[in-house]
Amino acid sequence: MMTDNVTSPNEAAFDPETARLFAELGTRPVINAAGAYTMLGGSTLSPGVRAAMEAANRSFVDMKTLFEGSGRVIAGMLGVEAAYVTSGGAAALALSVAACLTRGHRDYLERLPDTEGIPNQIVVQKSTRQKYDHCLTIPGARIVEAGDESGLTPLQLEAAIGPRTTAVHYFVPLQGDSPGVPSLESVIEVAHAHGLPVVVDAAGHTYPTDNLRRFVRAGADLVCYANKYFDAPHSTGLVLGKKDYVDLVALNSFIGFETSDYHTLGRAMKVDRQEVFATVVALREWLAMDHEARFLLYGERAERVLRGLKGVPVVEAYRISEREMPRPVIRDGVRLVLRDAAAAQRLVAALRDGDPSVWVRVDDDRADCVNVSVAFCSDAELEVVIRRLDEVLGMQR
């Protein structure tokens, strides 16, 4: 999806009706130079996706048939056994674990998150722990750490598996081959030898587009994505995998609650019909997109930022790209290396608190670096970003 058709927050602010609505809701438009980011509302919907939502809005549907049909279409697009649309990547993880917990224990479909009496432990690599692991515990699973701070070996994974294990979790590293992170294939081999499913958190791994297929092809039972990373609605996610397990995801979902004999955990994780239509169209567009053209546009915009910041006092400034450094949150843009972490935090705060408000992000791995994404900026917004960066950094001269 290209962003030239996006209305600038500055333009929106001059529309009296829009300005009045923003004021009434106690918020203001933000220029997104932070990437596909939860706290900014995800990504931007294309005209085709918005049209699909409008078409869905004109008619009611049988939601069970919609979910069955959308799963079939998505699975066909990706060449996997089964697919299911969820209310975000977090829900995809929670429902996937619920599927593992209730596999062979249907009497627990109504008892979750009470898991007393059944295998309820999910093995997670210690050195890749992150805050989103908490989603695994929503249906009542207990996290057991495997390995140590330096990584995980097959023997350490074996040692963490016991009679109470229900599944093994695998977090796909952002940097491709990461020291201490075993291959997915080796984790699957150990887990399947014990008759255990593997749940993969691949939330942002939607490019290269083969990432939407390869984890299932490797043998993972359930693979979870956040759909904002292929420009679908922010409040949708996706589970791909083996049909028996995806069927259990559906049974544990709000569709299962409403149409089966079980009052399942997922009733709180409802998805509307517009979002399902939008997910299918967004995924189709993402798979067909000329991503090289997308990167070319990003590169031109990143170069504009770099040219606009010449002479500004930073330690270093250079282009970053998800092709060389998979960072789905950031996509392409510019990295600014500052004097220290405090300077990076001051820059982020000054841009966010200014008028207009510009959001950038401190790098996850380097606290002295600020990443400026160009993916969701219109041309007009990009000029504002450059001007504000020059103003704020210029004050440090």
Tell me how crowded residue 145 is: count the other CB atoms within 10 A of its CB: 15
For the cut 60, the answer to whether the pLDDT of residue 59 exceeds it is: yes
CATH of span 9-32+290-394: 3.90.1150.180
pTM score, whole prediction: 0.94
CA dist., res. 168 & res. 124, Å (int): 7
Instruction: List pLDDT tens digits, range 84-104.
Output: 999 999 999 999 999 999 999
Domain locations in the chain? 9-32+290-394, 47-288
Using pLDDT thresholds of 50, 70 and 90, give the confidence band for residue 354. Answer: very high
Taken in order 72, 281, 382, 353, the sign of the CA dihedral is: negative
pLDDT at 177: 64
Task: Look at residue 5 in the predicted model and tell me its pLDDT.
Answer: 42
Percentage of the chain lying above the pLDDT 70 cut? 94
In this predicted structure, the answer to whether residue 12 has a pLDDT above a threshold of 60 is no
Phi-psi region of 251 (alpha: psi -120 to 50; beta: other; left: phi over 0): alpha
Which range among 122-131, 133-142, 321-330 shows the weakest confidence by mean pLDDT?
A: 321-330
* pLDDT at residue number 165: 98
Average pLDDT of the segment spanning 135-164? 98
How confident is residue 172, by pLDDT bands cut at 50, 70 and 90?
very high
Considering the domain delimited by 47-288, tell me its CATH architecture.
3-Layer(aba) Sandwich (3.40)
Mean pLDDT over 357-382 rounds to 94
Return the amino acid letter for 202: A
Q: What average pLDDT score do residues 312-329 get?
A: 80
What region, left, alpha or beta, does residue 304 occupy, with left being phi > 0 and alpha being psi -120 to 50 degrees?
alpha
Question: How would you label 197-217 residue by residue, b for 16+ Cβ within 10 Å and e otherwise?
Answer: bbbbbbbbbbbebebbbebbe
Query: Would you say 259 and 64 are in contact if contact means Cβ atoms under 8 Å apart?
Result: yes
Give residue for tokens 């967004």.
282
Q: What pLDDT is stored for residue 14 in this prediction?
A: 55
Tokens (6 digits) for 261: 């004999």
